[in-house]
Amino acid sequence: MIQELKVGDKIPNFSLQDQNGQLFNSATDVIGTTSVIYFYPKDESGVCTKEACAFRDSFQDFTDAGIQVLGINAAGIESHKKFAEKNRLPFKLLSDPGNKVIKQFGVKNALFLTGRETFIVNESGVVIHKFRDFFKGAAHAKEVLEFLKPVK
């Protein structure tokens, strides 16, 4: 049984490669900054593309607030690179082969696909908000911005 991360839980330590083959380590690259970590099922699917583009379209708002955006799924580096280039995504897409990190976060599958869930993590690596809506990918960026409004 997968233990689901809840608000107030510290995220697990993990290391994954981004779309450029660079190693991303949560212990050094998440701690000290507020991060939005979103898990999505598949590069290039309709809902996932809408979700990624919604984060792209709001990226300046995140940057202005000092927030990094990270997308994670099991696709390989090459798939992420093509997806990021095609859709002009200015943030890191992390490759999670075998869905190890998605399982550490406790993201539940939906239907036969891996789940779609977004976590906001504070500078200490603690979950301060999470949002799950499998069918409304574009709603994830909006939900995050709404939640962060009082913080700005």
The Cβ of residue 129 has, within 10 Å, a number of other Cβ atoms equal to: 16
CA angle (74 as vertex; 70, 78 as ends), nearest 5: 80
- Token readout for 112 is 């036969």
- Token readout for 62 is 């995140």
- Give catalytic status of residue 48 as yes or no: yes
- Among candidate residues 30, 48, 75, 102, the one labeled active-site is 48
8 A C-beta contact, residue 132 and residue 119: no
Task: Specify the amino acid at residue 89.
Answer: L
Provide the annotated active-site residues: 48
